[in-house]
Structure 1
Amino acid sequence: MTLSISTEDFKSTFRNHPAGVAVLTAVAGDEHAAMTVSSLFSISADPPLIGFSVSDASSTARVFNAADTVIIHMVDTDSLWLAKLGATSGVTRFEDSTQWDVLGSGERYFPGAPTIVRAAVVDRVRAGGSTLCVAHAVELVKSEADDDAMEPTPIVYHNRRWHRLNGSSALAD
Structure 2
Amino acid sequence: MTAVPPTARPSDPAPHPVHALGGSVTPDDFKAVFRGHPGGVAVITAEGPDGPVALTATSVSSVSVDPPLLVFSVTAASSAAPAISAASTIVVHLLDADDIVVARTAATSGIDRFADRTSWTRLATGEPVFTGVRAWLRCAVVNRMEAGGSTVIAAHALQSHVNRDIEAGTVGNALVYHNRVWHRLGEHSALD
Aligned to 1:68: 88
The root-mean-square deviation of aligned C-alpha atoms, in Å, is 1.6
Counterpart selection for 1:20 from 40, 59, 62: 40
2:52 to 1, 16, 32: 32
Q: Distance in 2 between matches of 1:147 and 1:7?
A: 39
For residue 4 of structure 1, what is the aligned residue in structure 2?
Answer: 24
Higher mean alpha-carbon deviation, 27-36 vs 72-81, is at 27-36
Percent identity (aligned): 45
Q: Note the 1:40-79 alignment, pairs <5 A.
A: 40-79=60-99
| Letter of the 1:155 counterpart | L
Match runs of 1:85-100 below 5 Å: 85-100=105-120
For this pair of structures, how many residues does the alignment match? Answer: 170
Q: Deviations over 1:101-131 (max 9, x none)?
A: 1100001111121111111100001111111
- Residues 56, 75 of structure 1: alpha-carbon distance in 2 compared, 3 angstrom cutoff: same
Q: Counterparts of 1:22-171 in structure 2 under 5 Å? A: 22-146=42-166, 152-171=172-191
How far apart are the structure 1 equivalents of 2:130 and 2:40?
Answer: 18
- CA deviations 1:66-108 (Å, max 9, x no partner) are 1111111111111100000011111100011011111000011
Deviation at 1:147, TM superposition (A): 6.8
Distance in 1 of aligned mates of 2:167 and 2:131: 16
Q: Distance in 2 between matches of 1:133 and 1:142?
A: 23
Higher alpha-carbon deviation: 24-33 or 160-169: 24-33
Asked if 2 retains the 8 angstrom alpha-carbon contact of 1:71 and 1:107, the reply is yes
Q: Is residue 172–residue 185 contact of structure 2 (8 Å, CA) maintained in 1?
A: no
Q: Report which stretch shifted further, 24-33 or 99-108.
A: 24-33
1:159 partner letter: N
**TM norm structure 2:** 0.84
Unaligned runs of 5+ in 1: none
Deviation at 1:142, TM superposition (A): 3.2
**2:166–2:172 CA contact under 8 A, matched in 1:** no
Aligned mates of 1:65, 1:134 — CA distance in 2: 11
Describe the SS at the equivalent of 2:99: helix
24-33 or 139-148, which moves further after superposition?
139-148
Distance (whole Å) between structure 2 residues aligned to residue 24 and residue 120 of structure 1:
13
Larger CA Rg, structure 1 vs 2: 2
Structure 2 Cα separation of the partners of residues 131 and 163 of structure 1: 26
